Structure 1
Amino acid sequence: MLPEIGALHETGDPWEPYRLIDPEGSRVEPVALYFKDVQAGGSPATTIRSYGMDLLRWWRFLWALGLEWDKVQREDARDFCLWMQYADKPKRDHWRHRGTVPAPVPSTPRAPGPKKLPPGTPNPVTGKPSIGTKYSPNTRAHSETVLRGFYDFHLESNSGSLIVNPFPLARSRRASRAHAHHNPMDGFLPEGSGRYRPKIPARVPRRIPDEKYAEIFAGLEWDRDRALLASWAATGSRAEELLTSRQRDVLAGEQVIGVIRKGTEDYQQLPASPDAFIWLRLYQEEFWRKGSPRGRNEPLWCTLRRPWRPLSYHAARAMFMRAQQLLGSNWTLHDLRHTAAYRMANDPEMSILYVQQILAHRYLSTTQRYLIPSLDEVIEQGRAHLARQERKRLHPQPPQPAPGYNPDSLNNLFGGPL
């Protein structure tokens, strides 16, 4: 396991949202230059943070082995990708307990709670595996792409002592770009990009069945949480998009809620159900009586207690996880978006093009994933097929008469059914 030295600091400066710090507390200049280039391309601060976590992991690998960033060889990049494949992820303490002395173990044993499943075990309710101890293929693929782009940038800038990119392209692509001479009438074939990029398994979007959604909804305590779940399941917006809405973005008369789209940062109004607006009004009236900020430019979603603050994604996620404790499920907030997408895509009276616009998908092929039957539907149809086969085995049909014979005459002759 790598030593946890260095850090990625959030500065609060819009010109430099994040800064990679070495063990001496100094800024890592090659990473700072790359961040400026990424930010100039229109990437938000969340993208820079995502890239920064991958670069921090790579720099810790270099610091542990005593390597210089501009003198590494392809063998070093290969060893790093192998390390990510087999090493365990670091275990981090909760943010409330970092830097504090661990509390003593109580002498009186606690009452036994629900048995916690081992990491990576599929959940018995949802079928989704829990977070494992190893780095997932998506994390490793993202890291390889970021590091290859980082070294491509410095090769073009002629920075340091770089001669080649330590994270090379796949051997089949060294002489050409991806999808060269592609026919626009044909689909894109899967084509590997990085030599050390792992294969990512295709994931089927998981929706929450209606009966399980009703159980989770019934376990919520506050009208604010009910309004949130009803809005997510109706609009199909991402969790962060809905949490950034203002009170002026709610138009109950037109039954739409305005959000800022992720990536493009475009403003878009999304249709919501009457049920969502009822819970939203109940939540607002209750909190306005308590003194919650009221105004067109005030946040739409606030904390439950003073001091009133905008509801963050992590607080909303914790609320959703608490609501699932009794059910024992591990659905995420993004599964609510999948649920809304499945409902709209499988409505025979709604065009898939309208669903694409509501979900803000760039490609129609992304929306068409929701036309594929979900895993729950596949299992249900498989069980129904096996039940039909069992009924045929227990109650076989009598053989049909040969062609040319009158069934009524055979029944009179052999005493068949009347």
Structure 2
Amino acid sequence: MADWLAALDRRADLRAKAGLTRRLRPRAAGDAVVDLAGNDYLGLATHPEVTAAAAQALSAYGLGATGSRLVRGSTDVHHALEDATADWLGTDRALVFSSGYLANLGAVRALVQPRTLLVSDAHNHASLIDGCRISGAETVVTPHADVQAVADALAAAPGRPAVVVTESVFSVDGDLAPLADLHAVARRYGALLLIDDAHALGVIGPAGAGGVAAAGLAGEPDVVVTATLSKALGGAGGVVAGPAEFVRHLIETGRTFIFDTALPPAVAAGVAAAVRLARAGDDLRAELADRAALAVRRLADAGLTVSAPDAAVVSVTAPGPEAATAWAADCRDRGVAVGCFRPPSTPDSRSRLRLTISAGVARANFERALEVIVECAP
């Protein structure tokens, strides 16, 4: 009966030998670590207006939503958040999910009909990859940010419904997809374009409306946008935004929406407050851009291989998974938290540190953290 547990132990040993062990590291409230690993880009997770809105809703509605959105889980704050998000993104409607992962699974599945071809970027997030797999549709994975490869895949499937699936700002290296060119190709072949705007929302675009708006694609009828509410907005949950007809389709048929308990009202209220702050946060976005440029200069001057960020994610190449783990641990021991990305979390088998820039970190602490990263480099 214990054979299956022994098999799991053997697999864990193999991961350990490859430097791929993963551990949970609980943190205390208000710890003194300089955070370049989390995704609170604008520092809104602890903003007084955000926490006050969440506290007020917590008192009014209680801890949880108590049911799915179609039962008793929809509240006034959910609808207010959806209206505010749709207005911000320039779409007909928006629909809030309990996580960005479920939003992506639901969006991909809802766009698939018989004979649909999915054309997915090789660097897409796991939630998009899993959405493609779970949908059951034929999926062609194209080289990263290769518009011609997307065109070739669509041209090879004439007459079939198709969806091009991409992130806007990619989560591993922080580079921006050629969204306008992808949209032009998708439209030429009658395909839809699904864009995960998670790492761009709040960070780039007019009033922080994201990569889709920055590319001039807001409100296009053949574009569907997804995003998390847990990054620049500092909360939790996910959203799908697009044509009203598509949102109606999700409400009536989307399994990850229908059969899931709704986002807690307190979180929805806090995120709604964060949306208001993010829309007015051009000063925060300017600070993020300045810090990202500073990080690239300092790390490159130290001889490190660093990505050219289009938003607030900076990737620094490590020699291998064990070196990346040790590098991140040394930084942590000196009070700096950095992301440590190793296969299979990376799409190209390269290990790296992923630094996420946050306007919520004091400038002096940010600059000190860069020095720590350089000094701890393998």
TM-score greater than 0.5 by the shorter chain: no
Higher relative contact order (CA 8 A, sep 6+): 2
Question: Which bracket does the TM-score occupy, shorter chain normalised?
Answer: under 0.3
The structure in which a higher percent of residues are strand is: 2
What is the TM-score normalised by the length of structure 1? 0.20
Structure number, greater radius of gyration: 1
